[in-house]
Amino acid sequence: MSNLIENSPVQKLVTALHQEFQRSPKAGGVMDLLGNYCQKETDWKCYAHFSDDCYTRNLIARTELFDLIVLCWGKDQVSPIHNHAGQRCWMTVLEGSIFETLYQHKSDSNVNHLEKGETRTYDQGVVGYITDNIALHVIGATPEKPAISLHLYSLPYDECNIYDPVTGEVSPKKLFFHTVDGQPA
């Protein structure tokens, strides 16, 4: 798990998320929990660590049911096109704005390619959801300013696939955290 401060808002969120996943496998209350936390709390700031080189993944909590991570995005920093290894992903914007572009992975006659779909922008407090059945995606900060987002992955996973938009090539990618409990990993 992690060294969350007892009775802090983020510790209460982790407890509530754990209870929600135990209560219902579909976890229908997760969007409300994340949205309410995002609208009212700021203790996530101690987990927000930026890098000039790339967006950062900062672990708040890992349980057997989920990972809760703060992602920090410099201006114009974006993820590669990726999947979620069969897991569910919720995202809410804590600060700034995040864009998401959806992609469908198509295979025709042994040739892989990606079909670009809609692009959406998420502002502070908006909660989004994606699974591999919905689409692959790329996300990142909008060009105007850096952004911070809170991501919840159920179940935890340590590897995903990265998709090359030109060649259609699929490559496995080991995932890592830049910080854990606010400390360099």
For residue 19, the surrounding DSSP H or E stretch is helix 9-23
Nearest of 71, 82, 67, 59 to residue 131 by alpha carbon: 82
For residue 79, the surrounding DSSP H or E stretch is none
Give pLDDT tens digits along the chain (185 positions): 456 778 899 999 999 999 999 998 788 899 999 999 999 999 999 999 999 999 999 999 999 999 999 999 999 899 999 999 999 999 999 999 999 999 998 877 666 788 999 999 999 999 999 999 999 999 999 988 999 999 999 999 999 999 998 887 899 999 999 999 999 98
CB of 117 within 8 A of CB of 103? Answer: yes
Number of C-beta neighbours around residue 75 at 10 A? 13
Q: Which token pair is 118?
A: 């809609």
What is the model's pLDDT at position 40? 94
Q: Which token pair is 24?
A: 């219902």
State the virtual CA torsion across 93, 101, 26, 151 in degrees, nearest 10: -30
Question: Which residues neighbour 96 within 8 Å (Cβ) at sequence distance 6 or greater?
Answer: 73, 124, 141, 142, 144, 145, 146, 147, 148
For residue 27, the surrounding DSSP H or E stretch is none
E strands in 29-145: 56-62, 67-73, 81-82, 88-95, 97-108, 111-123, 127-130, 136-141
Question: Which residues neighbour 152 within 8 Å (Cβ) at sequence distance 6 or greater?
Answer: 17, 30, 34, 66, 67, 68, 69, 89, 90, 91
